[in-house]
Amino acid sequence: MATLTLTEENPPEIGHAATDEARWRDNPRLARVPQVHPETLVSSDSRAVIVAPHPDDEVLGCAGLLMHLARSGHEILLIAVSDGERSHSSESAFSSDLLSHVRPAETSVALTALGIGNITIMRAQLPDRRVGEHQRKLQDLLGAYLQRSDVVFASWHRDGHPDHEAVGLASRDAARAIGCRLIEIPIWMWHWRTPDHQDIPWQRARKLALDPDMQARKKAALECYRSQLEPDRSTGNAAILPPEVLAHFQRDFEIYFV
């Protein structure tokens, strides 16, 4: 696992307008999403480039895909846009400086839990919660590293979190300029949208199946993000990723907008 450093609004409250997982599970739109084979997403001669807004997004959104790709011997580049250093309040003992070290380290441990060792991680170190202010810089950075044969996986540009949307837009524009394929990943959509929301591009949705071993590994990987899963004892604030949010990512499939 190689790590390189590229250098260089507050998101909605977690508990606001939450959509219960049961509402997604019982919706016929999600049930009708066609399945896709991993080789249909990434051909054998293509590199997969994962553009993750924060540490944990790569596991929340595409742990299953990463495991499929690793088992097939694909080259994988993970571009960590921010270090997620502002996930906690300014009053927290989890300072921005501490989190800028803790959260990338959690990603490394999580990837190991997934069984993924042959991966290159590039840290862009753009400011957490302010990626939109640096969207052009991110687009230029991606343009410098992308290849025409790459398949780019990025957060959906209507995901509901400002950093996720900025990453989606920058990835879209960079991919268009280079001529490579872009596939979007919904993450916070599951929490802040509802199945009948008009923005959801159900016609582009594809379902990637996870076998029981992959589900177990994804669960274990998510448990590596302790900074996000445990309540903040220094402030009394709830966990950043409470059980009702994690429920969206404990399915036997993942969804991609192709």
| Three-state secondary structure call for residue 5 | strand
Is 188 part of a structural domain of the chain?
yes
Is 76 part of a structural domain of the chain?
yes
Q: Which two tokens stand for residue 109?
A: 């441990």
Is 45 part of a structural domain of the chain?
no
In whole angstroms, give the CA distance from residue 174 to residue 162: 18
The CATH code of the domain that includes 94 is: 3.40.50.10320
Is 207 part of a structural domain of the chain?
yes
Q: What is the pTM of this model?
A: 0.94
Full pLDDT tens readout for the chain, 258 residues: 765 555 444 444 444 568 999 999 999 999 999 999 999 999 999 999 999 999 999 999 999 999 999 999 999 999 999 999 999 999 999 999 999 999 999 999 999 999 998 999 999 999 999 999 999 999 999 999 999 999 999 999 999 999 999 999 999 999 999 999 999 999 999 999 999 999 999 999 999 999 999 999 999 999 999 999 999 999 999 999 999 999 999 999 999 999
Q: Quote the domain boundaries for residue 95.
A: 2-9+56-257
| Chain centre to alpha carbon of residue 165 | 12
C-alpha to C-alpha distances, 151 to 7, 41, 141, 169, nearest whole angstrom: 23, 8, 16, 15
Is 136 part of a structural domain of the chain?
yes
Is 109 part of a structural domain of the chain?
yes
Is 245 part of a structural domain of the chain?
yes
Q: Which two tokens stand for residue 37?
A: 């084979």
Is 35 part of a structural domain of the chain?
no
Count Cβ atoms below 10 Å from residue 51 Cβ, excluding itself: 29
DSSP 245: H
- Name which of 145, 52, 73, 149 is nearest 116 in CA terms: 73
On whether the CB atoms of residues 219 and 94 are closer than 8 A, the answer is no
On whether the CB atoms of residues 209 and 40 are closer than 8 A, the answer is no
One-letter amino acid of 23: R
| Residues β-bridged to residue 51 | 79, 154
Number of domains in the chain: 1
